[in-house]
Structure 1
Amino acid sequence: MYQNTKAAFIKLKNNKFFELSVICVIIISALEIGAKTYSLSNTAVSITAVLDTFITLFFLFEISLRFITEEHKKNFFKSAWNVFDTLVVVISLIPINDSEMALLARLVRVFRVLRMISVVPELRILINSLIKALPQLGYVVLLMFIIFYIYAAIGSFMFNTINPKLWGDIAISMLTLFRVMTFEDWTDIQYETMEVYPYSWIYYMTFIFFTAFAFLNMVIGIVVNVMEEEHSKEKNKGQPTLGELKQEITELKSLILKLDEKKNL
């Protein structure tokens, strides 16, 4: 009986229509959360309340289905995505009205939209790639911070008297340089300093070269490289490795030798 039920659950879990239904419910959840930010009539509030209950129960059923169909139950919570989904579903069960944790429950309901990432494999690859790229990105960000700090100190010393609002201290100068790096009206800042220091354009050109061109392209290159590695791993998943192929060849050779020995006997 249990095996038949489990087989039916596995069939339901792998059903494309059910997977599409999960995505649709997540989209409906996102729309329902957005609708609550507007002033709604009593009828609309009642409809959103019913929708919220339905979505919560559907997610509870879906996460239970995934847990039941898991062959090794301990491995289920080894996946960070499964842990995240379970937490979102469990906290969503907290009643919103007349509860001290009402604010937490509302905030968690917002995060239900993120379940789209755990459902769609392509989105999981993107997030996993970004997480795996963080150690390499850390060194680039550190180097970028050093450049920011040096240029901010120079700018604060040179341009403080020209415009204290932009170059008053090193912290404000770093914010100004971030504006320059993002090209947000940076020419206005440049022309203002060039009225006092005509060659200050060199300061801005070199800074933009280092940050906007060099370092940002390095960040993009690292992320793209990690994404390609993740895509190749996903494609090769389930295929035997070189070591496994060698082992199979060795086993086949030994089997052939045994068969030859039997024939000779």
Structure 2
Amino acid sequence: MTKIEKSSDKQNNELKPESGLSSLERRFYEIRNNKIFELFVIGIIIFSALMIGANSYEVSPTTLQFLSVLDIAITVIFLVEIIIRFIGEPNKKRFFHNAWNVFDTFIVLVSLIPIEDSELAILGRLVRIFRVLRMVSIIPELRILINSLIKALPQLGYVMLLMFIIFYIYAAIGTTFFANINPTLWGDIAVSLLTLFRVMTFEDWTDVMYETMAVYPLSWSFYLSFIFFTAFAFLNMVIGIVVNVLEQERQLEADIENKVSEQPTLLELKEELAEIKALLKKQ
């Protein structure tokens, strides 16, 4: 069975809640797939992000207490949302096979722990900041982007390795020739690597170049060739790999949706079977 067929079978199971689900589970399934419910959760996540920004300002004790109450209400809403998604899941055994479901559940459960007045208060604030990332698990397009980046990491690793080799070679050359000119920028390999990163990001790189050109007039070739390899060639390679994987993910999603739409649901098969039985009885 191919990857597309496996994915389509999985989506078929999710698209057919009428098979084996109770009335409560069917109702929760309809709620979790309702666009209004999704927009409501997105709105709560955005509101939670705004509250994080509001807590960074100096506010009155009354306002701070009001924000704490709102934070508790948001946590409860998130807990109810996770419960609805779990109960409405057609295949509950596979609910935690999804990494995004595990992430959402972890964030919500940690948010329930009363650690505001303890030594772990910083952890509590960090968890509330990471609640903004739940936007990724709610919006499919963001999930595709993150999944594409994760799948592109093996290919990007080789590009990063080659880029590090180029960095190291140029850092060694810069240390050899320019250490006497400016030890602060070229004193050793580690400092030279930081200087080259500054050059690659075009942060006042011309000042660095003109300083060495005063001693070595042809040192401009050192900087221009380094910028060509890193900022132009390797950066475009990284962008190309990510875009290519993203297109593959989008094509895979489109193939799955087309395959699922072409297959009849269980309810349609039952209706066709009932029509066939009715025709046989008439004959």
Partner of 1:130: 149
Partner of 1:177: 196
Query: C-alpha distance in 2, partners of 1:50/1:136?
Result: 47
- Percent sequence identity over aligned pairs: 66
Query: C-alpha distance in 2, partners of 1:168/1:49?
Result: 51
CA drift of 1:42 comes to 1.6
CA drift of 1:7 comes to 1.8
Partner of 2:10: none
- Structure-to-structure mapping, 1:1-265, within 5 angstroms: 3-240=22-259
Give the conservation status (yes or no) of the 8 Å contact 2:29–2:88: yes
Deviations along 1:213-241, one digit per CA (max 9) or x if unpaired, are 11010000000000101111111114339
CA drift of 1:96 comes to 3.2
Quote the RMSD (CA, aligned, Å): 1.6
Give the conservation status (yes or no) of the 8 Å contact 1:144–1:211: yes
Give the conservation status (yes or no) of the 8 Å contact 1:129–1:223: yes
- Match of 1:155, as an amino acid? G
Give the conservation status (yes or no) of the 8 Å contact 2:148–2:245: yes
CA drift of 1:62 comes to 0.4
- Match of 2:138, as an amino acid? V
Give the conservation status (yes or no) of the 8 Å contact 2:148–2:246: yes
Query: C-alpha distance in 2, partners of 1:74/1:11?
Result: 19
Deviations along 1:106-131, one digit per CA (max 9) or x if unpaired, are 21111000000000001001100000
Give the conservation status (yes or no) of the 8 Å contact 1:67–1:73: yes
TM, length-normalised to structure 2: 0.83
CA drift of 1:52 comes to 0.4
Give the conservation status (yes or no) of the 8 Å contact 2:27–2:88: no
Query: C-alpha distance in 1, partners of 2:138/2:259?
Result: 26
Give the conservation status (yes or no) of the 8 Å contact 2:116–2:124: no
Query: C-alpha distance in 2, partners of 1:103/1:197?
Result: 52
- Match of 2:129, as an amino acid? V
Query: C-alpha distance in 2, partners of 1:162/1:152?
Result: 15
Query: C-alpha distance in 1, partners of 2:33/2:218?
Result: 66
Aligned to 1:239, the other structure's residue is in SS state helix
Give the conservation status (yes or no) of the 8 Å contact 1:96–1:106: no
CA drift of 1:98 comes to 3.1
Aligned to 2:97, the other structure's residue is in SS state coil
Partner of 2:276: none
Query: C-alpha distance in 1, partners of 2:258/2:36?
Result: 27
Query: C-alpha distance in 2, partners of 1:173/1:37?
Result: 37
Show structure 1 runs of 4+ deviating over 4 A. Answer: none
The size of the alignment, in residue pairs, is: 242
Aligned to 1:98, the other structure's residue is in SS state coil
TM, length-normalised to structure 1: 0.88
Deviations along 1:73-117, one digit per CA (max 9) or x if unpaired, are 121111110000000000000113333432222211110000000
- Match of 1:43, as an amino acid? T
| 109-118 or 2-11: bigger deviation | 2-11
Aligned to 1:143, the other structure's residue is in SS state helix
Give the conservation status (yes or no) of the 8 Å contact 1:160–1:168: yes
